[in-house]
Structure 1
Amino acid sequence: MSTSSWQPHIVVAAVVEREGRYLMVEELIDGELRINQPAGHWEADETLVQGVVRETLEESAWQVQPTGFLGTYVWQPDTLPYAFVRFAFVAQALTHEPERQLDAGILRARWMSLDELLACRELHRGPAVLQCVEDHRAGRILPLDVVRHLL
């Protein structure tokens, strides 16, 4: 593949903590169980903040309010010809819609402690899953206005 056709995948992710537990989703990727934050592809005609709110609702049935920007995480899996660029946001859980149908491939949303996340590292969707939690726990949170959408 030539570098002129290389296109990274832009992803938005929500780090939502409540009482020491993190909102995570169990999903099937190529038939295998994986653990991830609510996350997905940024879509046209939305801001990154709008995208993380939408993806969190679609994958977890939780309405959230972003409160800060955690960071940008770049990961190039050995098995794929493209990289993932993840924009991670800290968000507060507002309301749950348990009757809501979750995105295809999502088995369920669940709240997990750090110990539970550490115990299942081999199931994480990628290295950003744990890194985002660790950065959140370290207080590495920036104000939302560091993410600017220029018109």
Structure 2
Amino acid sequence: MQAHLSARPRVTVAAIIEQAGRFLLVEEHTQDGLRLNQPAGHLEIGESPQQAVIREALEETGRAFTPSGLVGVYLSRTRRDSQDVSYLRLAFCGEVSEADVERKLDEGIVRTLWMDADAIRASAHRHRSPLVLRCVEDYLSGQRYPLHLVATDPGVYA
């Protein structure tokens, strides 16, 4: 007997941002309490995944993000309110500007913080998703794909 799965995965994007051996994360309020995540969020109607990750990084960190590559595409599943929910995550790496201190961060974001890989590994129990660490490990292993691998049909913008 097959378990009831969500009808379709929710598409999310994440920004993997590393500077001098530290990664930019956000601490955010979730249904499960305070959790750590990469700057990440849902793909919205009328935008490409690259546009979505630029928007999400700005909203959650106050920093302009410039994607340089795709780290990976990940499918995960979790249980939410007695329902299975699947997520398809596109993780992009890139660079960020300095923070705009005047910009208010997205609702639910408590703060941004820079953590090295060991601190991220040690805080796995606080991650919003197991994909937080998986994306960091894939980035550290050198996994990168060109941005043109993710193509958006012009009809998306119509």
TM-score relative to the length of structure 2: 0.89
The equivalent residue for 1:34 is: 35
The equivalent residue for 2:70 is: 69
Give the secondary-structure state (helix, strand or coil) at the position aligned to 2:103. Answer: coil
Partner amino acid, structure 2, of 1:128: L
8 Å Cα contact 1:34-1:125 kept in structure 2:
yes
Give the secondary-structure state (helix, strand or coil) at the position aligned to 1:129. Answer: helix
Give the secondary-structure state (helix, strand or coil) at the position aligned to 2:84. Answer: coil
CA distance in 1, matches of 2:59, 2:88: 20
The equivalent residue for 2:58 is: 57
Name which of 113, 116, 121 aligns with 1:113.
Answer: 116
1:64-85 alpha-carbon deviations (Å, 9 max, x no partner): 1000001111111134422011
8 Å Cα contact 2:71-2:144 kept in structure 1:
yes
The equivalent residue for 1:95 is: 98
CA distance in 2, matches of 1:36, 1:73: 15
Q: Which runs of 5+ in 1 are unaligned?
A: none
CA distance in 1, matches of 2:100, 2:49: 22
> 1:31, CA displacement in angstroms?
5.7
| Percent identity of equivalent pairs | 40
User: Would you say how many aligned residue pairs link Structure 1 and Structure 2?
Assistant: 150
CA distance in 2, matches of 1:6, 1:54: 26
8 Å Cα contact 1:64-1:95 kept in structure 2:
no
The alignment's C-alpha RMSD in Å is: 1.6
Q: Which runs of 5+ in 2 are unaligned?
A: none
The equivalent residue for 1:43 is: 44
The equivalent residue for 1:81 is: 84
